[in-house]
Amino acid sequence: MLSKADHDAIAVAVADAEVRTSGEILCVLAHRVSNYRETPLAWAAAAALLLPPVALALGARLTLGAGSMWESSLSGAERAAPFALGGYALAQIVIFAAVALAIAAFRPVKLALTPAILKHRRVRQAAFAQLMATRLLGSQIGAAVVIFASLEDRMVTVVGDEAIHAKVGDKAWAAAVAAVQAGVRRGEPAAGFIDAVALCGALLAEHFPTDGHAHHLADGVLEI
């Protein structure tokens, strides 16, 4: 997704930013973060519930056809009711299966139908998973920030661990998110990461100035 030159440029930017802080900056560029299996199911369920009554309102007949095994004493409505219910249920099953399979088969359609709030939640979860991985190094890291972008989801998030979050809160990362988004829109994701690294590095340097210890995370961007 990024060229070697892009990787090198981001690594230099991270190294430069970390010179002034004891904190760490991790850049992550993901192709995708989720399969969103619930999206086809949700749309299929909605279609199965809504389309049959709409079809009936427009004059469609959802019946399985009349049978010949009913006793003559039954009225026409009584004989037709089971077939009408069976036809309605069959229509719902067919609609559910068709819509679910169609959406699942075409990922661009599935992504377009997935709510942005769900995409954002999944990207945040992926970013926090990367952040938690930095905690494996324990107390060797004073503070850590993850700059995370998902190309397929077109989502960017920046998350900090407890140490830096207690100092600045989530709103402090808005400018860094905007920087990555602007770079991606220009077709220059590396430039966006570099701008975001500078902004995050400034905040880390303000609250966690360098203490002379070595940094433990790789300076380059991690592609997943």
In this prediction the pTM is 0.77
- What is the per-residue pLDDT across 101-153, written as a single tens digit (0 to 9) for each? 999 999 999 999 999 999 999 999 999 988 888 766 555 566 889 999 998 88
- Check whether residue 77 and residue 175 sit in a common domain: no
Distance of alpha carbon 24 from alpha carbon 14, whole angstroms: 9
Dihedral of CA 22/175/152/184: which sign?
negative
State the Cα torsion 13-19-20-25 to the nearest 10°: 50
Q: Residue 142 has which token pair?
A: 């004073």
Residue 158 has pLDDT above 90, yes or no: yes
What count of Cα atoms within 13 Å lies in the side-chain half-sphere of residue 60? 13
pLDDT at 163: 82
Domain tally for the chain? 2
The boundaries of the domain holding residue 102 are 38-113
Say which residue, 147 or 172, is predicted with more confidence. 147
Question: Which of residues 51, 81, 113 is at a domain's end?
Answer: 113
CB atoms within 10 A of CB 40: 22
> Residue 116: what pLDDT?
92
Q: Is 213 left (phi over 0), alpha (psi -120 to 50) or beta?
A: beta
Residue where a domain terminates, one of 76, 93, 113: 113
CB 204 within 8 A of CB 17: yes
Residues 50 and 25 in one domain: no
pLDDT tens-digit readout, 20-68: 888 889 999 999 888 999 999 999 999 988 888 877 777 665 555 544 4
